[in-house]
Amino acid sequence: MKWRILIVFVLVIILVLPVRAETIRWVDFGVPYESLKYAMDVDIDTFDKEKHISWIDILALAACRTGGKCGLISVKNAAKQLQGDSSPEELLGNLYKYYGYYHQAYQAALGGLLGSYAIEVDGQWKTTYGLKAFSPVAAGYGYSHCSDFGNSRSFGFARKHLGNDLMGSLGTPIVAVESGVVEVMGWNRYGGWRVGIRSADSKRYYYYAHLQKDKPFAPGLSEGDLVQAGDLIGFMGRTGYSDKENVNNIETVHLHFGLELVFDESQKECNSEIWIDVYNIVRLLSSHKSTIQKTGEGWKRRYPFVDLDIQDLPEA
């Protein structure tokens, strides 16, 4: 009798405990620019409507039907269907089993790009909802780039290129794409002078490498600092490929911009890190640039910015 009671007790415990989803180990992010832009615009346009349609929901729904390819037609169809009363589960049927994975993956990759923010113009804070992340290259400075994720690299050992190279001019101001905490800065034999910034939700680690020789970082920037999206963090250069610090061993001036997804801290600093292709994300961010000016007092933003999803407005 006692063993029967024990079995019933164990079964009850199993049933009431929440099911823990398996940690995501890999993300093949291949959403085209046109699909990102369309889903983002729908999200922004419906923010104040009776039904706000999240771009993460749109992309996850489309991804289940296309195996993550998310062509524009499938994204438009997903956005239209989500305007109705049917849930993703009802719309997908058997394909719904993939929805949780894609939603979690896209939330990790894109979760910090849209939201509520405020900029200060003429002494007044103006709040809005929209694209709150910035191009890594400041306004007024040109660059070129191509889809180069996965290309081969040989310095140190044979490996794949895990970022997007933005070619520009020496000293070009580089800004934080998303608000977050400076997790690491200093010299790396591969990346030269580099800065690593972790998002507020800890899911994204942004990596900015090959910064300028002698004066790579924004004045006063330190590990542990909270930076706002669009804040100056450093200057474009060509340092790296050397065990010796402050050496220009990269042939071409450029910014190596990378994005690592972290679903579990055990995935950080290991052989199974999840780096995604950011080429289309960089294209999306090119429409939103931070204006950085050099004055007699040093470098400063023209329009102060606050990410309202992680911080309150400054008190008057």
Q: Side-chain half-sphere of 125: how many Cα atoms within 13 Å?
A: 14
Total Cβ atoms within 10 A of residue 76: 17
Closest CA relative to residue 303, chosen from 115, 128, 111: 128
Tens of pLDDT, residue by residue over 15-44, are: 333 444 588 999 999 999 999 999 999 999
115 has a pLDDT exceeding 70? yes
Mean pLDDT within 46-72: 97
Q: pLDDT tens digits, residue range 185-243?
A: 999 999 999 999 999 999 999 999 999 999 999 999 999 999 999 999 999 999 999 99
- Work out the number of other CB atoms within 10 angstroms of the CB of residue 41: 14
pLDDT at 5 over 70: no
State the pLDDT confidence band at 316, using cuts at 50, 70 and 90: low
Residue 62, helix vs strand vs coil = helix
pLDDT at 91: 98
Residue 69 has a pLDDT of: 97
What does the buried/exposed string (b/e) look like for 150-163 if buried means 16 or more CB atoms within 10 Å of the residue's CB? eeeeeeeeeeeebb
Longest C-alpha distance within the chain, in Å?
85
Q: What is the pLDDT of residue 95?
A: 98
Q: CA distances (Å), 31 to each of 93, 153, 254, 264, in order?
A: 23, 24, 25, 23
Contact 197, 205 (CB under 8 A): yes
The identity of residue 246, as a single letter, is N
| Domains defined along the chain, listed by start | 28-110 (no CATH), 133-299 (2.70.70.10)
pLDDT digits (tens, 9 = 90+) for 89-104: 999 999 999 999 999 9
Highest mean pLDDT: which range of 189-198, 260-269, 307-316: 189-198
Neighbours of 81 (CB within 10 A): 17
Inform me whether the pLDDT recorded for 291 exceeds 60.
yes
Q: Which of 69, 64, 83, 81 is CA-nearest to residue 36? A: 69
